[in-house]
Amino acid sequence: MRKFTIFIASLFLCSFALILPAAAQTEFESTLTKVGQPVPEIDWVTLDGQKFDTRTLRGKVVLINFFATWCGPCLEEMPHLQKDVFQKIKNKNFVMVSFGREHNETELKDFRKKREFTFPIAADPERKIFGHFATQFIPRNYIIAADGKIAFQSVGYTEPEFKQLLDAIDKELKKAGGK
């Protein structure tokens, strides 16, 4: 009986060993960009009516964030984006935008007002912008260096990874002469 129990436990553990890499691979496969490659050419209008595009932002460090109002990790991350990124860096050689994936402007204006966020937010109701970067999984962050190349990218939210994001912003601002 003991050998049978050990056998069943071994099978159970092996099944997790096969499942875990598959989940990580799915996240990896859903990412369409790589660090070091040029940022996809996109343009957008924020909820405040400001127009931007990645071509004219060359020379600045850019943070592109993708979120959804129903996403728990996104909601955990966003106050940190407000306090630790936007409020501290907004007057430097830096631009930040958060795209509400699958949200329209009305939804996002209500969300922004309720949460008291002041950083730029833009709607991406049909995933047209998101589709240049990934196929699934949020939150996502991309740091674009002053030369227009992706310097950092992340999926999900954890405090250690957010620290890496802050470090990447700081590094790119120093390289660009903005800090």
Q: What confidence tens digit (pLDDT) does each residue in 26-71 have? A: 666 767 579 999 999 999 999 999 999 999 999 999 999 999 999 9
CA distance 114 to 130: 24
Which pLDDT score is estimated for 113? 97
Nearest to 42 by CA among 167, 138, 173, 134: 134
Which pLDDT score is estimated for 2? 55
Selection from 53-62, 71-80, 89-98, 169-178 with the highest mean pLDDT: 71-80
How far from 132 is each of 72, 83, 95, 124, 168, CA to CA, in Å? Answer: 23, 28, 19, 12, 21
- Please tell me whether residue 163 adopts helix, strand or coil conformation: helix
Which pLDDT score is estimated for 79? 98
Supply 48's token pair.
Answer: 């405040």
On the question of pLDDT at 6 being above 50, the answer is: no
On the question of pLDDT at 86 being above 90, the answer is: yes
> Would you place residue 20 in the very low, low, confident or very high pLDDT band (cuts 50, 70, 90)?
very low
Q: What is the pLDDT of residues 103-135, one digit of tens each?
A: 999 999 999 999 999 999 999 999 999 999 998
* Contact between residue 164 and residue 154 where contact means Cβ atoms under 8 Å apart: yes
Q: Mean pLDDT over residues 1-17, rounded?
A: 43
Which pLDDT score is estimated for 61? 96
The chain-wide mean pLDDT, for the chain, equals 86
On the question of pLDDT at 178 being above 80, the answer is: no
Which pLDDT score is estimated for 150? 97
**How many other C-beta atoms can be found within 10 angstroms of the C-beta atom of residue 39?**
23
CA distance 119 to 114: 14
On the question of pLDDT at 22 being above 70, the answer is: no
